[in-house]
Structure 1
Amino acid sequence: MPVTPQPEWPRPPVGGYTADDLDRLPNLPPHTELIDGSLVFVSPQTKFHMRVMRLLEHSLVLAAPDDLEICREMTVRLGPRDRPEPDVLAVHASADTGLQQTTYEPADVVLAIEVVSADSEARDRESKPLKYAAAGIPHFWRVEEARGLPVVYVFELEPARRTYAVTGIYHEQLKVAVPFPVEIDLTAVDPRQRGGTGAPRDAE
């Protein structure tokens, strides 16, 4: 009876991987993150997750000032053992180093957004916000699902203590003035809701 070959998983070095290893290790699955020196592989994306990222990216691109760029799924080098990948980012346009760029520094990032999924709850609610705040990223949004629609928890950095304070919880409509003014119809994530202002009506 033939034996099914087992996949070759990378074996961690003593002390764990470093941020530079993400660019060196061959055949890593897409969207692999580094958290505390360990590789984190993500599960297949849900449709809710995809729709929320599309809505947020589209809305933020339209609202962002010229000196900021909106990116999806780019890693941030928080330190030698941490290189997470927020779902959506607002970064300084001056941080662009070219088409082969794979990561940003914390000082480049104005806003990091995580859309919570079943396998990322602990990371998105606990470990990542702590690390983003400690690195000095001024704004963080966490997006949760409630009855098929996104709920956005908005946090702002308290710089003296390097911790986040919640500044708002938004259902159906997100309207904030910082890091730049933006208004998003959160019901537009559901294609059955017509006329939303946050995404193209023919999206999906």
Structure 2
Amino acid sequence: MSAAREDGLDAEYAWPRPPEGGWTADDLDRLPNLPPHTELIDGSLVFVSPQTRFRLRTIRLLEYALLSQAPDAYDVDREFSVRLDRRNRPEPDVLVYRADADTGPGQTWHHSDAVVLAVEVVSEDSEERDREVTPRKYAAAGIPHFWRVEQSQGLPVVYTYELDPATRAYSPTGIHHDRLKVTVPFPVVIDLTALNRRPPVVPPAQPS
């Protein structure tokens, strides 16, 4: 059983007190007992609410589709943090990164220089972050592509953006209903109506 503190909180569930100037990206790997998927935005810890079925299945759909169509030079992760700078380490719902940036099973974050696409699925508790805060920070960090996913009548709608290197801001490139087809960062086609279908299972190779 965890020890009780004078304020009546169990030490196991007491939130850490931020240092002067806020937390840093490296602190996420050192702080004990953080909830899963804790993010760092402007030096503050951000905790996520329980996710909806729509968000869960949209992430799954996009992850599998991107992974199956990505060239060998790229790889795909879901809900993995990206270090943008010393005070910002958000966790995109899906991200595409250079495969050579994989440093092994103990890796806990990607540097923004390795990321070519960040995807955020907007949920009720993260609307402002997903629509305004994190896209602005992804662009400032130089991530070339960003997708924002909204829900419409139970299906995902994908808003695609590309970085303007002159302004260091994203420019909209499309709004995709039912079917997403793009050529950057690599050619990919995704049937957005397949949200609730099981992805195809590839049978194991038979011994010769």
TM-score by length of 2: 0.90
1:143 is aligned, of 149, 158, 180, to: 149
**Equivalence map 1:59-138=2 (5 Å):** 59-138=65-144
Residue 200 of structure 1 pairs with residue 199 of structure 2 = yes
- Aligned with residue 38 of structure 1, among 16, 28, 44: 44
Measure, in 1, the Cα distance between the counterparts of 2:105 and 2:200: 31
Q: Distance in 1 between matches of 2:65 and 2:147?
A: 14
**SS of residue in 1 equivalent to 2:14:** coil
Q: How far does residue 5 in structure 1 lie from its aligned partner after superposition?
A: 3.9
Q: Could you tell me how far 1:201 is from its partner in structure 2?
A: 5.6
CA-to-aligned-CA distance 1:49-85 (integer Å, 9 cap, x gap): 0100000000001100001001111111101100000
Structural RMSD (CA): 1.4
Q: CA deviation at 1:200?
A: 1.8
Residue matched to 1:195: none
Q: Give the corresponding residue for 2:25.
A: 19
Distance 1:201 1:96 in 2: 26
Distance 1:147 1:112 in 2: 24
Shift of 1:190: 2.9
Asked if the contact 1:138/1:157 (under 8 Å) is kept, the reply is: yes
- Which residue is equivalent to 2:164? 158
Q: Does 1:58 align with 2:64?
A: yes
* 1:108-136 deviation line (CA, Å, top 9, x unaligned): 00000000011110000001000000000
Q: Specify the structure having the higher radius of gyration (Cα).
A: 2
Q: CA deviation at 1:42?
A: 0.1
The ranges of structure 1 where at least 4 consecutive aligned residues each deviate by more than 6 angstroms after the TM superposition are none
Aligned counterparts of 1:33 and 1:165: Cα–Cα separation in 2: 25
For the residue of structure 2 that corresponds to 1:123, the secondary structure is helix
Residues paired across the two proteins, number: 193
Cα distance in 1 for residues equivalent to 2:199 and 2:148: 23
> How much identity, in percent, do the aligned residues show?
65
SS at match of 1:150: strand
- TM (norm. structure 1) is 0.92
SS at match of 1:168: strand
Within 2, Cα distance between the matches of 1:173 and 1:142?
15
